[in-house]
Every structure is written in structure tokens, then in C-alpha cells.
Amino acid sequence: MSLVMAASGFIVFYHYGMPAITDTEVNELLLTQAQSAVLINIMLVHIFYLLTARSLTLSAFQTNPFSNKWIVGGIAVTVMLQIILVYVLPETAFNPLRTAPFPVEWWPFIILLALPGLFIIELEEFLVERLKRRSRRKE
């Protein structure tokens, strides 16, 4: 899972952060926006992992996503904190993570790069269950 997280974070940073660095200067705002986008991407990878970790045997697509109100509440709080960290705190004097608001157009790409973590874990659960069924049939 950490490999997926690192890869998606690297791709987000490379895509948005590398244009901020040229031979002669660094666009500090664009670089900070790219770093903020990576932070959001990592948080989204964890949210998707949480959705898959609810059951070791059932797929996240087979379980009711609203059956555990604590998880739904935790995801809602996490998303709200992400938005506050990136879009509200930079406008105040208190910005401990030194984030910067990035364009809304970046969100689909960031979400798209966080999704492979969900599908990799789902594929693993599917293969484990399939192997278990096969071994039961052979016995």
C-alpha cells in the first residue's frame, strides 16, 4: 500500500511541481500548490484504503458504505479538514503546514491517482477468496 501511496504522490508532484522549477528560478507558489496536492492525494489514498479494510473477505463494493456511521463521520471530518488545510488556512495568518490553495481542476487528477490503492486491495481480496474456494474444493 505504501508503494501505491508513494507512486501516486510522486506522480502528482511531478505533474504539478516540476513546471515550478526551471534552470534559473523556482515558482514558490506553484511548488507549494503541488506539495499541497500531494498531501491531499496521500489522505485520499488512506481514505480509499479505509474503505477496503472494513472487511477482509467482502469487497468494498459489496458492503454498504453507510453501515458504519463512525467511518462515514471520520471520512467527512477528514475531507473537511483537507479543505480547511488547503483553502481556508492559507488565507489566514495561521498556516502551520504552509499549504497553498490549488486550482479545482487538479482534483479529478488527484482523485484518479488515489484510486489504484482501492482497486489493488480489492483485487487482492478477490484473489485470496478465490484461492480459498479452490483449496476447499480440492479437500
Q: Tell me the C-alpha distance between 33 and 16, whole Å.
A: 8
User: What are the tens digits of pLDDT across the range 13-45?
Assistant: 999 999 988 888 999 999 999 999 999 999 999
Residue 53, CA atoms < 13 Å, CB-side half-sphere: 9
Please give the model's pTM, rounded to 2 decimal places.
Answer: 0.86
User: What are the tens digits of pLDDT across the range 55-100?
Assistant: 777 788 888 888 889 999 999 999 999 999 999 999 998 999 999 9
CB 26 within 8 A of CB 33: no
37, with CB counted inside 10 A (0-12, 13-18, 19+), is: buried
The rounded mean pLDDT for the chain is 89
pLDDT surpasses 90 at 113: yes
DSSP track, 18-46? GGGB-SS-B-HHHHHHHHHHHHHHHHHHH
What is the pLDDT at residue 130? 85
